Amino acid sequence: MSHAFSPIEAFHREIRGFADFGTSTTVIEKSWQGRNLPVYVNEFWTAKQRAAHSLHEVSYRACFKPQLPRFFIERFTSPLDKVYDPFMGRGTTLLESALLGRIPVGCDVNPLSALLCLPRLYSVDMNAIEKRLEDIDLTHVKEIREDLSVFYHPDTLRELCALREYFLQRETAGTLDATDSWIRMVATNRLTGHSAGFFSVYTLPPNQAVSIASQIRINEKRNQTPTARDIRKIILKKSASLLKDLTPVEKKHLSQIGKKSQCLTSNSAKTSDIASNSISLVVTSPPFLDIVQYDQDNWLRCWFNGIDSKAVPIWQLRNADAWQEAMRQVFLELARVLVAGGIVAFEVGEVRNGKILLEDLVLPAASASGLQPFAILINDQEFTKTSNCWGVDNASKGTNTNRIVLLQKTPPSTQLELQM
């Protein structure tokens, strides 16, 4: 009679024998609450394995590769299961979930996240995009923000301000549809950049908008003046690029699942709109202890979308105790929304030159919230020596590794299954 392995047992067996990229898994044991917690080190996914789907090509700070959520979605969920990211950013986990036929759920305190993510969860048509762009009047504008002329040619700035007014008016009137939302998402990502594929003169990459004063210095240093850009043409070209990998099966998934998706703009510890016991898998990467200036990076994107960037309550967690307490509150909420047996893949990063390993803060915070750890997985794309993967050198710099704490919501009677 064959033995039916639980999902956790099956995962341990697979990962211990994993060698898809030519190396065997190294197992390190970490002592935790009187037992040894396995730490698995290998190249489990890689940028070379498959190019990320073109729909992911939206710039945002601190994104993980789509291969990371896909790895766990394929192993711990079935079609139409709900997959959740409480710190969704640009929506990598949500989009991978939708492409795989799962129902995506996301939350982020930054309202830009929903603007960037939701349009890509629906099936859009290039003909509809082109027709809508033709119909939008870019000659009528009430107010031109002249200080942005350091980024844009006068003609481009006028059209950009007209496009902004169009979206804000449609949003206020409640008539902003899926095609409008797609065009707004693409335009938001073409505001500034370092090539002719953006509306602006040469500047920093699109996820790091520089200040007006800094752009003046860049223009002077490069002896450059903004040239006219064809806004419609740029939006159409980027739209075609985003949609180029979409297969008929994936398009069907999006057409069916987009309307079932859920994107909240909220504190991740306060998500009453998500039903209890409804989420099968959580894949996320929380804000780390690093200091990221979201207000400075996103001021231009926020302006374009009518958002007060200074009013967005982004967490600035600058010490370990504050970070751990914030994560404890999030874990309590995750324990509420997860189904019994649901899984959390919680990517953490080490900071301060490896002196703080965030998994050491995650483990007690999660356990206190009813989530039990069953493994730590370290994906090392260069597969350095084992000693380097554990808190020093390559791993401490976070250059080519992902460190994921794996947790399960499980009743006390089944917790012994976690001890492998």
For the chain, which residues score pLDDT lower than 50? 1-2, 49, 383-399, 415-420
pLDDT of residue 31: 86
> Does 64 fall in a domain?
yes
Decide: 83 and 66 in contact? Cβ < 8 Å. Answer: no
> Does 378 fall in a domain?
yes
- Total structural domains within the chain: 1
Q: Spell out where 46-110 has E strands.
A: 82-85, 103-108
Q: Within a 13 Å sphere around the CA of 339, how many CA atoms are in the beta-carbon half?
A: 12
**Can you give the CATH number for the domain in which 61 is found?**
3.40.50.150
> Does 168 fall in a domain?
no
pLDDT of residue 114: 95
pLDDT of residue 102: 96
pLDDT of residue 46: 76
pLDDT of residue 50: 56
> Does 96 fall in a domain?
yes
What CA–CA distance (Å, rounded) separates 214 from 47?
34
Global pTM reads 0.90
Strands 35-42 and 371-380: parallel
Residue 318's contacts (CB-CB under 8 Å, 6 or more residues apart) are: 289, 291
Query: Among residues 69, 414, 123, which one has the least CA distance to residue 256?
Result: 123
> Does 84 fall in a domain?
yes
Domain holding 14, by residue range, is: 7-103+261-291+323-418
Q: Six-digit token pair at 400? A: 């080519």
- Residue written as tokens 């520089």? 210
> Does 24 fall in a domain?
yes
Residue 331's contacts (CB-CB under 8 Å, 6 or more residues apart) are: 365, 366, 368, 369, 370, 371
> Does 41 fall in a domain?
yes
Helix, strand, coil shares of the chain, percent, nearest 5, are 45, 15, 40
3-state SS assignment for residue 379: strand
3-state SS assignment for residue 126: helix
> Does 166 fall in a domain?
no
pLDDT of residue 309: 82
Q: Six-digit token pair at 414? A: 């089944």
Decide: 276 and 82 in contact? Cβ < 8 Å. Answer: no
What CA–CA distance (Å, rounded) separates 243 from 240?
5
pLDDT of residue 419: 45
Residue pLDDT, tens place only, 207-245 = 778 999 999 999 999 999 999 999 999 999 999 999 999
What CA–CA distance (Å, rounded) separates 94 from 262?
9
